[in-house]
């Protein structure tokens, strides 16, 4: 027989009584209390000899997972120490629960912990795996690149398969809508470059050469680069996210099942759009940049716009324009391809969209700088 | 997380509730009650505002006017009491699992956020809940690796992990095979009988309604609100054409006519 706690003692849960120990739950205990209770119980039975443990759950307390776990843990400790456990559950509501409670005893054991996480590899194995994975993804990306080139070639040979409407839309999105930002950026960069040069040039009275500097610098280097960097931020990320989310929404699978070539349907218009807009935006960037430089030349170097333009026209050779054009074409190819590739490689989770979008921008920027260096070195070697 | 046995027998009271987005009202003057420890089914054809009503009940859409009382707490146009959120579990239609967490962490999230239990206890509670929905072998999987039914069950385990006295489910059996759907129904029934959980289910699955419903609340687009309320038997003998069409699975308009 268990002694019920006296009036006013209901707040006390753990009550020792001779060689017996009783837990009283006459009101719902706060859940954070129970783990500590189990811990102190474990300590108590080490210092006191206990022969019997009672758990009494009152009428107003609904049995729930926490109380069940608590009872389970106490039972486990009691069993290992050879202590008898009596569990009394009061109340109409809880009567039927006793059976379930008892049933759960037999059913559930926590001997097996959940297996969480993946296999762990050693340092060297990890290094090797990373290297091999990197190599594989490089190979895959290169193959994708070649596939797209051939797909574009196919579309050029047979223009009927091009989705002109989509191409026009993408050209608008990546091209005309980028014009304000590209224009402002180029204008400011032309302005800043000319300002920096102005200080030096004025010392030698070589004011007119600001036109040479701006024209050559912009046409060969700055305009393609500014345009490409902005397009990496605006266009590559948009392509990757668009295609990635289409993949998650099973739109790509639907296309495949409907026997629609996803390359021609989605990717070719995007890459062609980027290929088309990159040189056009570069030209736009060249002229706005030149305007910025001309502004500074007029305002602080006393070079009139007419003499500025005449000087710029004389210094620029066809080869300078060709190098700039070549770069912009290469950059456009990189921007379109990486964006679409990362979109296609997205896994079926929202997190992956974010990761691939980030990685598309970073990879594009990296490849743009690599391609830029390559073309510049080649131009130097072959005296372009 | 312990549910006290307070004496009001009603878990949900809705009075003259109007809900809508922007200018348009989707529900107008809706009133109904759900008793404690019962399963109430909100049913109706597509687009009748079932999901909107549920969203209003769980505080995702603020009501335009009217009152909601959940477990004795008033929810007006002012806002949603945070303490109430801990007392209710919600199973979303698309399960609402976080894609960047695995199943275990998804289910453990409410415990980690709103209790101060040690990690060993959290592990055991989560595994207990996953066992309840037969997912204990899939604890380490990411949601993207689960089938539709498994996602739903994982969502249910997460909804139940705090032992809420009130459970809301948005179309629990949509997209599930009949066996899994039946298992889910049995789970609802045992939750009701054993743990005295009040359950509000939004569904239009007739078989499921027949098995679990203590009370049906039928909505319709034409009146932007409740057209019938009562037990399933009462609804089935009602003389309302819309109610009859629902239970007899009759099309409202014939194709081609």
| A96: CATH | 3.30.750.24
Q: Are residues A161 and A209 in the same domain?
A: yes
Residue B22: the pLDDT is 76
Residue A220 near residue A324 (C-beta atoms within 8 A):
yes
Which pLDDT does position A119 carry in this prediction?
Answer: 66
**A29 touching B (Cβ < 8 Å):** yes
Q: Are residues A288 and A193 in the same domain?
A: yes
Q: How many CA atoms lie within 13 A of B244 on its CB side?
A: 5
Task: Tell which A residues from 92 to 121 touch B, by Cβ distance under 8 Å.
Answer: 93, 96-97, 100, 108, 110, 113-117
Same domain, yes or no: A63 and A208:
no
| End residue of a domain, out of A64, A97, A112 | A112
- Residues spanned by the domain of A328: 147-381
Nearest CA in chain A to B142: A349
Residue B143 in tokens: 């949601």
Cβ distance A19 to A44 under 8 Å? no
Higher-confidence residue of B253 and B188: namely B188
d(CA A218, CA A187): 11
Residue B252's pLDDT is: 67
B129 interfaces chain A, CB cutoff of 8 Å: yes
Does A66 fall in a domain?
yes
pLDDT, tens digit only, all 384 positions of chain A:
444 444 444 456 777 777 888 888 887 777 778 888 888 888 888 888 888 888 887 777 776 778 878 888 888 888 888 888 877 777 655 555 555 555 554 444 333 344 445 567 888 999 999 999 999 988 998 999 999 999 999 999 988 888 899 999 999 999 999 999 999 999 999 999 999 998 888 888 888 999 999 999 999 999 999 999 999 999 999 999 999 999 888 888 888 878 788 888 899 999 999 999 999 999 999 999 999 999 999 998 889 999 999 999 999 999 999 999 999 999 999 999 999 999 999 988 888 899 999 999 999 999 999 999 999 999 999 987
Q: What pLDDT is stored for residue A353 in this prediction?
A: 92
- Distance between CA atoms of A103 and A106, rounded to whole angstroms? 6
Quote the Cα angle for B116-B120-B125, to 5°: 80
Checking B115-123 for CB contacts under 8 A at 24+ apart, the result is: B115/A31, B115/A32, B115/B1, B115/B162, B116/A32, B117/A31, B117/A32, B117/A35, B118/A35, B120/A35, B121/A34, B121/A35, B121/A69, B123/A113, B123/A114
Mean pLDDT for B141-150 is: 86
Can you give the pLDDT at residue A92?
A: 59
- Say whether residue B31 is in contact with chain A using an 8 A CB cutoff: no
- In this prediction, residue A348 carries a pLDDT of 80
Provide the residue count of chain A.
384
Residue A121 lies in a domain: no
Structural domain contains residue A376:
yes
Judge whether residue B102 has pLDDT over 70: yes
Q: Residue B2 — very low, low, confident or very high, per pLDDT cuts 50/70/90? A: very low
Tell if the CB–CB gap between A31 and B140 is shorter than 8 Å. no
A316 and A203 fall within a common domain: yes
Do A296 and A361 lie in one domain? The reply is: yes
| A157 assigned to some structural domain | yes
Q: According to the model, what pLDDT value does residue A323 have?
A: 93
- Residue A157's pLDDT is what? 92
The tokens describing A284, both together, are 């736009």
Say whether both A356 and A283 belong to one domain. yes
Q: What does pLDDT average to over chain B?
A: 84
- Tell whether the model's pLDDT for residue B39 goes beyond 90: yes
Task: Inspect the interface and report whether the beta carbons of A28 and B3 lie closer than 8 Å.
Answer: yes
Q: Are A208 and A98 within one domain? A: no
Interface of B with A in 138-197 (CB under 8 A): 139-140, 142-144, 161, 163, 193-196
The reply to whether A157 and A282 lie within a common domain is yes
Q: Which of A88, A112, A136 represents a domain boundary (last residue)?
A: A112
CA dist., res. B71 & res. B125, Å (int): 25
**Within-domain flag for A370:** yes
Q: Based on the fold, state whether residues A247 and A99 are members of the same structural domain.
A: no
Whether A184 maps to a domain, the answer reads yes
Burial B231-257 (b: 16+ CB within 10 A, else e): ebeebeeeeeebbeebbeeeeeeeeee
- Is the CB of residue A66 less than 8 Å away from at least one CB of chain B? yes
Cβ-defined contact of A116 to B140 (cutoff 8 Å) = yes
User: Which residues in chain A have Cβ-Cβ distances shorter than 8 Å to B195?
Assistant: 62-64
Name the one residue in this structure whose structure tokens are 């809940």: B129
Residue A4 lies in a domain: no
Domain count, chain A: 2
User: Are residues A162 and A104 located together in one domain of the fold?
Assistant: no
One domain, residues A358 and A303: yes
3 state SS of B105? helix
The rounded radius of gyration (Å) of the Cα atoms in chain A is: 37
Residue A2 within a domain: no
Q: Which two tokens stand for residue A370?
A: 């690599």
For residue B255, what pLDDT is reported? Answer: 63
State how far the Cα of A11 lies from the Cα of A24, in Å rounded to an integer: 9
A106 and A168 inside one domain: no
Give the distance from CA A23 to its chain's centroid: 51
């Amino acid at each position: 027989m268990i002694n019920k706690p006296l009036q006013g003692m209901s707040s006390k849960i753990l009550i020792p009584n001779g060689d017996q120990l009783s837990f009283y739950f006459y009101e719902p205990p706060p859940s954070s209390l129970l783990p500590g209770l189990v811990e102190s119980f474990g300590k108590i039975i080490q210092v006191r000899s206990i022969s019997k443990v009672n758990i009494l759950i009152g009428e107003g307390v609904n049995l729930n997972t926490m109380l069940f776990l608590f009872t389970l843990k106490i039972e486990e400790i009691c069993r290992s120490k050879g202590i008898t456990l009596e569990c009394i559950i009061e109340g109409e509501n809880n009567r039927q629960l006793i059976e379930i409670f008892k049933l759960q005893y037999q059913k559930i054991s926590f001997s097996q912990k959940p297996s969480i996480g993946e296999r762990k590899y050693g340092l060297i194995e990890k290094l090797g795996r990373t290297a091999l994975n990197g190599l594989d993804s490089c190979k895959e990306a290169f193959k994708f690149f070649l596939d797209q080139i051939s797909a574009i070639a196919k579309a050029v040979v047979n223009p009927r398969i091009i989705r002109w409407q989509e191409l026009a839309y993408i050209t608008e999105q990546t091209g005309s809508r980028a014009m304000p930002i590209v224009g402002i950026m180029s204008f400011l960069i032309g302005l800043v470059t000319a300002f920096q040069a102005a200080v030096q040039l004025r010392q030698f009275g070589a004011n007119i050469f600001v036109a040479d500097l701006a024209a050559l610098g912009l046409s060969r280097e700055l305009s393609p680069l500014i345009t490409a960097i902005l397009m990496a931020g605006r266009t590559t990320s948009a392509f990757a996210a668009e295609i990635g989310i289409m993949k998650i929404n099973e739109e790509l699978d639907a296309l495949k099942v409907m026997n629609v070539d996803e390359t021609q349907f989605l990717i070719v218009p995007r890459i062609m759009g980027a290929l088309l807009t990159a040189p056009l935006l570069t030209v736009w960037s060249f002229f706005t940049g030149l305007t910025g430089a001309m502004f500074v030349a007029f305002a602080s170097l006393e070079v009139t716009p007419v003499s500025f333009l005449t000087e710029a026209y004389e210094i620029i050779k066809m080869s300078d324009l060709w190098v700039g054009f070549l770069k912009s074409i290469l950059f456009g190819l990189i921007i379109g391809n990486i964006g679409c590739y990362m979109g296609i490689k997205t896994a079926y989770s929202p997190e992956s969209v974010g990761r691939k979008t980030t990685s598309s921008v970073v990879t594009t920027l990296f490849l743009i700088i690599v391609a830029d260096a390559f073309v510049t070195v080649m131009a130097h070697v072959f005296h372009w | 997380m312990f549910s006290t046995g307070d004496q009001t027998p009603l878990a949900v009271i809705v009075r003259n509730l109007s809900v809508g987005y922007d200018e348009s009202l989707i529900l107008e003057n809706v009133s109904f009650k759900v008793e404690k420890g019962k399963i109430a089914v909100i049913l109706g054809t597509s687009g009748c505002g079932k999901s909107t009503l549920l969203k209003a009940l769980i505080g995702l859409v603020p009501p335009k006017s009217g009152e909601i009382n959940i477990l004795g707490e008033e929810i007006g146009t002012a806002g949603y009491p945070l303490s109430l959120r801990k007392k209710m579990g919600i199973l979303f239609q698309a399960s609402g699992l976080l894609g960047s967490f695995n199943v275990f962490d998804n289910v453990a999230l409410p415990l980690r956020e709103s209790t101060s239990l040690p990690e060993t206890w959290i592990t055991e509670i989560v595994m207990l809940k996953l066992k309840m929905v037969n997912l204990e072998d899939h604890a380490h999987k990411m949601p993207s690796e689960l089938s539709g039914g498994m996602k739903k069950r994982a969502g249910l385990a997460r909804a139940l992990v705090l032992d809420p006295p009130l459970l809301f489910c948005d179309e629990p059996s949509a997209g599930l095979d009949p066996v899994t759907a039946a298992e889910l129904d049995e789970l609802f029934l045992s939750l009701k009988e054993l743990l005295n959980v009040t359950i509000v289910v939004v569904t239009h699955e007739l078989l499921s309604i027949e098995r679990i419903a203590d009370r049906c609340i039928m909505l319709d687009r034409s009146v932007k609100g409740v057209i019938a309320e009562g037990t399933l038997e009462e609804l089935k003998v009602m003389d309302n054409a819309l109610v009859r069409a629902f239970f007899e699975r009759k099309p409202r308009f014939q194709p081609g006519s």
